[in-house]
Amino acid sequence: MTYHPERPMIVQGDHSLLLETHNPHFAAARDAIAPFAELEKSPEHIHSYRLHPLSLWNAAAAGHTLQQAEDALHNFSKYAIPDNVLEEMRRTFARYGQLVLSKEDEQTLRLTISDPFIAAQVSCEKTVLDQITEQIADHIFLLASGQRGTLKHALIKLGFPVDDQAGFSDAPLFDIALRDTILSSAQPMALRAYQQQAVDAFVAAGSHGVVVLACGSGKTVVGMAAMARIGMNTLIITTNTAAAHQWRAELLDKTDINVGELGEYTGACKDIQPVTIATYQMLTYHHKNVTGMEHIDLITHYEWGLIIFDEVHVLPAPIFRAVADIQARRRLGLTATLIREDGLEKDVFSLIGPKRYDLPWRELEKSGHIAEAHCVEIRIPMSSEDQMAHATADDKQKAYRIAAENSIKERVAKALIEKHSGEGILVIGQYIKQLKSIAAHLDAPVITGRMNSAERERLYDAFRAGDLRLLVVSKVANYAIDLPDASIAIQISGAFGSRQEEAQRLGRILRPKAGPAYFYTLVSDNSQELKFATNRQRFLAEQGYDYLIEDWKEA
């Protein structure tokens, strides 16, 4: 048997990859397999990945080749690769491009299936046949253009990704250009190399798909550059009103758009213009006495040449139903992570589009485009009272909350704040009662979703200006808030081990700066919270960050 003991990886017959973290070739192996393998577990000594169909299809869509994937396995595996793994990887990789959707005429689309065995299987599936109007050959099917999204969704559920080449409907033209000089700083306005590559990859692939870049790396600029390339009316959908206002400020600062051409569709304002910014919350809102979402027609009934889905990994499930109806519109998803805790990654793939560009966070850090980050988990004991309440809790969710609201965390947070005195610090948590208590303890303002937008933005502005150096924030600050001077994040509680949330919270401190950033997570030892913390570590491991674990001891 061929054996290479110096290599860090074992490829197993169940399609899992085991990677030794202490091996000197660990980082190179991790970077080589990251484009096509999905990280599943990341304990101290062995990280486990899996060759998942969706990760392989995303790799193929982003331009990675089967040969690159095979070379990575062969170059880093201690043992010979099991034949069944190579064969299944080849079959899965080959499926991308076997089913092609093209335009037959203005009302009709053509689905062409290269593989006769796939064609035979598809022709027997009711969920597919319900969308088909005519089969004109063994491998060619016709469908009404309105069934485009529904068909793609049905096919990927069956394990067949569709290469959608049917093109898009034209919309009213709207010229928008990036400025030569940024208004707010008087600095030259130029795309970074990776931002240009991301836009080029998106447009070259047909202007539908997802760009994955770290928080702080300029995803908004990528979106604006895509708008300039497309040159049509654009709808931008964001996570909340604060994010919508940030997009507005960025557009006015970095493009030549006029104020009167920029609309806002939120709870406070419903002004539709050639470029309109809305929120997911607004579009999914429905009054208790009204059936359906009364504002969703902003997506479906207006002629948008491009729709940008900011933070596409949190796209609400009801929006997917609307997106299925607008497959003739160009679609750009922007995100720091494709992880979805609801398991709807396949819906993003089929309805928004495949991943078109992805750049590892650590590469951005090495090039100085995001801050160097140190991630530390601090394990904290609970008081005797909390220990007893945790032990006798009648369900896991209740036990988790008791551990998350461990009162000793306030003392730990205060000690960390004193350690980093003078720096921009965010204390981030899940539970409002806990946040208000710690804010009072620290004599700091607390920002929650119930605070009105004007007051929230006043506090953010004070932080940016340096008048405030400490903010206590709820999950409302997870998304798209630009606080460039934040260099310390202290996470006192979170949402049940959400890797998605970990990505966003780490992103709050990654704006480029002179020194390193520190991301502290406070976890109650020997508790339900500790069990979920291992899942949160997975995101950091995926990005290549070292994760230091410390035990808290009173001074």
108 - beta bridge partners?
144
Judged by DSSP in three states, 52 sits in coil
d(CA 406, CA 526): 12
d(CA 514, CA 210): 31
- Spatial CA neighbour of 145 closest among 317, 384, 326: 326
How far from chain centre, in Å, is Cα 435?
26
pLDDT average, residue stretch 461-468 = 86
d(CA 1, CA 119): 40
Q: Which of 44-48, 284-288, 525-529 has the lowest mean pLDDT?
A: 284-288
Judged by DSSP in three states, 342 sits in coil
Per-residue pLDDT reduced to its tens digit, 365-417: 888 887 788 888 899 999 889 889 898 988 888 888 888 899 899 999 999 99
DSSP β-ladder status, 38-41 and 46-50: antiparallel
d(CA 275, CA 526): 51
Q: Under 8 Å CB-to-CB from 320, ≥6 apart: which residues?
A: 344, 347, 351
- Above 80 in pLDDT, residue 546? no
pLDDT at 14: 94
- Report yes or no: 141 and 111 within 8 Å, Cβ to Cβ: yes
Average pLDDT, the chain: 88
d(CA 130, CA 166): 20
DSSP β-ladder status, 162-164 and 99-103: parallel
Name the residue with higher pLDDT: 387 or 40.
Answer: 387
- Above 80 in pLDDT, residue 541? no
- Above 70 in pLDDT, residue 477? no
Name the residue with higher pLDDT: 476 or 523.
Answer: 523
- Above 90 in pLDDT, residue 486? no
pLDDT band, residue 306 (cuts 50/70/90): very high
d(CA 42, CA 479): 25
Per-residue pLDDT reduced to its tens digit, 110-142: 999 999 999 999 888 999 999 999 999 999 999
Q: Domains in the chain, start-ordered, CATH in brackets?
A: 9-95 (no CATH), 99-164 (3.30.70), 193-359 (3.40.50.300), 368-551 (3.40.50.300)
Per-residue pLDDT reduced to its tens digit, 411-452: 999 999 999 988 889 898 888 999 999 999 889 999 887 888
SS3 readout for 83-119: HHHHHHHHHHHHHCCCEEEEECCCCEEEEEECCHHHH
- Spatial CA neighbour of 487 closest among 385, 374, 337: 374
- Spatial CA neighbour of 520 closest among 336, 372, 379: 379
* Six-digit token string for 550: 């410390």
d(CA 73, CA 7): 11
d(CA 276, CA 284): 17
Please provide residue 115's backbone torsions phi and psi, each rounded to the nearest 5 degrees. Answer: -85, 120
Q: What does the DSSP 8-state code read for residue 352?
A: I
Name the residue with higher pLDDT: 511 or 102.
Answer: 102
pLDDT average, residue stretch 509-522 = 78
In terms of Cβ atoms closer than 10 Å to its own Cβ (0-12, 13-18, 19+), residue 520 is buried
d(CA 381, CA 387): 9
pLDDT at 501: 65
d(CA 539, CA 105): 45
pLDDT band, residue 287 (cuts 50/70/90): low
Q: In degrees to the nearest 10, what's the CA dihedral of 67, 69, 74, 76?
A: 140
Q: What does the DSSP 8-state code read for residue 145?
A: G
- Model pTM? 0.81
